Structure 1
Amino acid sequence: MRFYLKDNGMRIRLNYGELDISGDENDGYRPFQLMVASIAGCSSSVFRKILDKQRIKIDDLIVTADVERNPDEANQIEKISLHFTVKGYHLDPEKMHKNLALTRKNCSMIRSVENSIQIEETIDLIELSK
């Protein structure tokens, strides 16, 4: 990966586009947003793969991330709470909780920060009727 200096931050050119990074939200994505997005994105992708392998069909998956930062320590991220909302039919709560635990073990982003950032996951199942 190669990053380039721009007026108010950095830019990276990737196969699918450019990404601007800046401490000022008006000039690009803030670094903490990218870190949280990486953790939420990785976790939800792994969760979805697990469900697909088990042939569990869902209608929708929404992940909400709440972030706690410490202003006394350079705004360090101390905790990320990921809340999964899963909509589907015939969802087994016990199996879904086990899959979420398995997700944590297989998400490279969570594993990379697990000793420095507290990650908490919760799940809400919404049973759809036909």
Structure 2
Amino acid sequence: MNYSMNENGFTGHLPFGELQISSNEEHGFRPYQLLVSSLAVCSGGVMRKVLEKMRMPAEDIQIEVKEIVRNEEEADRVEKVHLHFVITGDINEEKMPRILELTRKNCSMVQSVQDSIEIIETFEIH
């Protein structure tokens, strides 16, 4: 990965393509959005694999970020993220606590921030 400064922020030069990053969301993704996106999508991908291994493949998983708490007094750092999973499929709701536990345990992004950002996970099944 390589990042170069531009007029409005930085351009990330990544294997899949370029990523515009800026503190002004009119010119690119804000860094905190990328952080939260990494937490959400990593969790969703792990959850998908866990459900498949438990023979309950999801037809769809939507992830809503219900809350982001930032601390203005400490450089606007992210302190809390609430991820809400809306899962479509024939999923045994009684197994969801274990599925959430395995998702958290195996998501590298959540594990990377576990001591600094509170991650709340909720779900509903359709």
Q: Which amino acid aligns with 1:45?
A: G
Distance 2:57 2:19 in 1: 33
Taking structure 1 as the reference length, the TM-score comes to: 0.91
Q: Distance in 2 between matches of 1:88 and 1:103?
A: 17
Write the distance in 2 (CA, Å) between the matches of 1:12 and 1:63: 25
Quote the residue 1:4 is aligned against: 4
The answer for unaligned runs of 5 or more in structure 1 is: none
Structure 1 stretches of 4+ moved >6 Å:
none
Contact 1:3 1:10 in 2 (8 A): yes
Counterpart CA distance in 2 for 1:13 and 1:55 is 38
Aligned ranges 1:1-130 → 2 under 5 Å: 1-65=1-65, 66-89=67-90, 91-126=91-126
Counterpart contact for 1:97–1:123, Cα < 8 Å: no
Please, which runs of 5 or more residues in structure 2 have no aligned partner?
none
RMSD across aligned C-alpha pairs, in angstroms? 1.0
Identity of aligned residues (%): 45
TM-score by length of 2: 0.94
